[in-house]
Structure 1
């Protein structure tokens, strides 16, 4: 099996790549940082193909897919994992460039890569697309603004793909994690402020990138006649809360 993973240099993508190679699958590991990809390739060997890809550069994606070596060219599973959140300010105080970068990566990059890979899956009547959504696409929260909006798009796009693929054997899943520690997610969100990033995960038992890697592997290895449309997962310590009311003084 050939599995293409974006954002493969760290976090969920790296954890999944390690698990897949251990099972004997070929992995096309895509990310922007070649040094991290090469380090991973040294550990994983010839079953791991490092590919430099910035998904926000959508014009480059078709050629990257066309240039894959013959052994890796047929993509059985696409894991659209690359994505990011930037900032936690309320909408009226955010940086517009942060908003645009999230849209370029989380939405435009994901749909461009899907568009490049999906026709061959349909032609073979076999394949699996797993999109990394978020609980932020389901539940609004302070500072979530455009990040939550991008993940809501990913959820609906995934469901609409399922509708379009009726009659084929191509599967689509939207995986929607909650809080996950031990990845670069919050470090990126807080623009490199490691102290703020660490505070997000203080004082509770969190999920890890390895947990999500295990879930992704389970999805990929699930029976081909079963489709998990959406899968929302949280640590036990995280749950829904009451609706906020801003009360005024009497």
Structure 2
């Protein structure tokens, strides 16, 4: 049986998603809870997005395979959710569980991931109760300028200027949405959606656009950074605590196998 789990977590006290020896991680806590509930060992989970230390999630998606004799019969997803949440620490919750198509792949099957980044740039928006989830910025931001600069970054590009390179990995991505608005509380909220993200990409994009929003850089600077295709030390990678993985989208079951195969193909720039 292939199982899909939808998770939410507060990343403040985690060293990111991925299991690391001697460190507290979301994957480590989840696997421990699964092995306890299922009375088995060696559980392997695959997530939609390996969030960094301090990054939060409302819409993380995970899949795992249960061997014969391990999967509950009959399978009761609500009972599994209750039992897992009874073991997991309060900063990580399983929101849903469901049997999935054998072709469902939380990582390679995704059509897109959507993140939000929240910034408090005015004294009246500062909330000590939200300090672990909102970046405090000391200068006011021009949302219109940030949106104008964001338009220069949309589409398929090599985002090497905004990524930490990894050996053998491509930095070509398709940025489908990048927009900014003030919410009902007056916070500046960025919506970032792409087919996938490379390491530190969202936080580097936000750092670039903050520089435009506070007037230190012109709107056109964002496009210049993108075209350079090399990391620029003048682009700050902002703190992780303002970032939340909000949602991951998947195609219908009939298209899952083809989508996973397409995603596994190494990307080549079409510019």
One fold, TM greater than 0.5?
no
Normalising by the smaller structure, the TM-score range is under 0.3
What TM-score does the superposition give when structure 1 sets the normalisation length?
0.28
Please identify which structure carries the higher helix content: 1
For normalisation by structure 2, the TM-score amounts to 0.26
Q: Which has the higher contact order (CA 8 A, sep 6+)?
A: 2
Larger Rg computed on CA atoms? 2
Considering fraction of residues, name the structure with more strand: 2
